Amino acid sequence: MVTGTSVVAFKYRDGIMMAADCLGSFGSQARFRNENRFMQVGSNTLLGASGDISDFQYMKHALDDLLTHEYDMDDGQSLGTKSVYKYVSNVMYGRRNRFDPLWNAYVVGGVDGGEAFLGYANLYGTTYQSDCIATGFGAHFAIPILRKRVDGRADGISEEEAVKILDECMRVLLYRDCRTINKLRRAKVTAQGVEISEPYVLETNWSIADNVVGYGA
């Protein structure tokens, strides 16, 4: 089983900002280092995934089929972010009820009707919406940072500040999570559409490790 770790996402002034690393772990082996755990769905929706990569591929195929069906209808309508979120939530809940869950946690973000939307769904069928969401270790280490930096002021956060907040969260996760690397992808969703960056390397500083008893022994 190849798995991916945390996805971090939050609302900012222009829409949604999201980040995830590029690692696909095979057990404890850092096996695949160029994974893309994002999927653009339609024109203004982004899906981020943690957990089993093969189950994520299943969801991608299901969403592709849904988009193809919507295109074939040719009725001038398109799937909005809330509709995509409802579909993902129903798939996860249905698979859980059949005792055959998809081993993932999904973050669905986008701009729907001029408003930023951010929702979460996991293998238990648990769903919620919030201004800031993180999966995996991010739920423990990134959420406190996001609540301090984002809650109550999302409409005042510029894109530049949003990027700094994302990098701060991902840097903390890199220091704490054994199943991550400092090669990341960042994505944003605005009224103009979805942009997913090429992989980039996050700068880190391990000099403090010399002060940790037993380090390097």
DSSP 3-state of 119: strand
Contact 47, 102 (CB under 8 A): no
Local confidence pLDDT in tens for the 217 residues of the chain? 999 999 999 999 999 999 999 999 999 899 999 999 999 999 999 999 999 999 999 999 999 999 999 888 888 878 899 999 999 999 999 999 999 999 999 999 999 988 999 999 999 999 999 999 999 999 999 999 999 999 999 999 999 999 999 999 999 999 888 889 999 999 999 999 999 999 999 988 877 777 776 656 5
d(CA 185, CA 201): 9
Which pTM does this prediction carry?
0.92
Instruction: State the maximum Cα–Cα separation within the chain, in Å, rounded to a whole number.
Output: 66
* Cα angle value 13/109/2 (rounded, 5°): 130
The one-letter amino acid code at 72 reads D
